[in-house]
Amino acid sequence: MGTNFEATDALFVTHTYLVLTAELIAHVVAGVPVDLPNSDVRALLEGQQFNLAGLHGVVEADFFDWPAVHPDGGRVVRAIARRLARFDWTQVERRLRLSRSPWNFAVAVR
């Protein structure tokens, strides 16, 4: 871990927001709806739809998924998802690429 930053609550929340946003954008670009009122927030943040499709490593459970288990976390994640759903993501260029390792699949979005 780097040492050229001050570990503050604000930085932690900012990083959490960035990770959540990136995970949700990965879903909407792939056509997975994220703005459903009763959606399973934990399933979204753990990338279960990608795993079911055999796309491992796109969105996975990680340290910044803590809002999924926080009492108010679902509400916050759904609010972010509603904001992201306002954009037209159909025009995002999607390119899938396989690394040299067959089990290390990555999605690159430009």
User: pLDDT digits over 21-66, tens only?
Assistant: 999 998 888 888 888 888 889 999 999 988 888 888 889 999 999 9
- Identify whether the C-beta of residue 45 lies closer than 8 Å to the C-beta of residue 59: yes
Q: Are 44 and 103 in contact (CB under 8 A)?
A: no
The pLDDT confidence band at residue 109, using thresholds 50, 70 and 90, is very low
**Stated length of the chain:** 110
- Residues above pLDDT 90, as percent of the chain: 38
Counts for the chain of helices (H) and strands (E), in that order? 4, 2
Predicted model pTM: 0.76
106 DSSP β-pair partners: 97
The pLDDT of residue 85: 87
Give Cβ neighbours of residue 109 (< 8 Å, ≥ 6 apart). Answer: 25, 26, 29, 92, 93, 94, 95
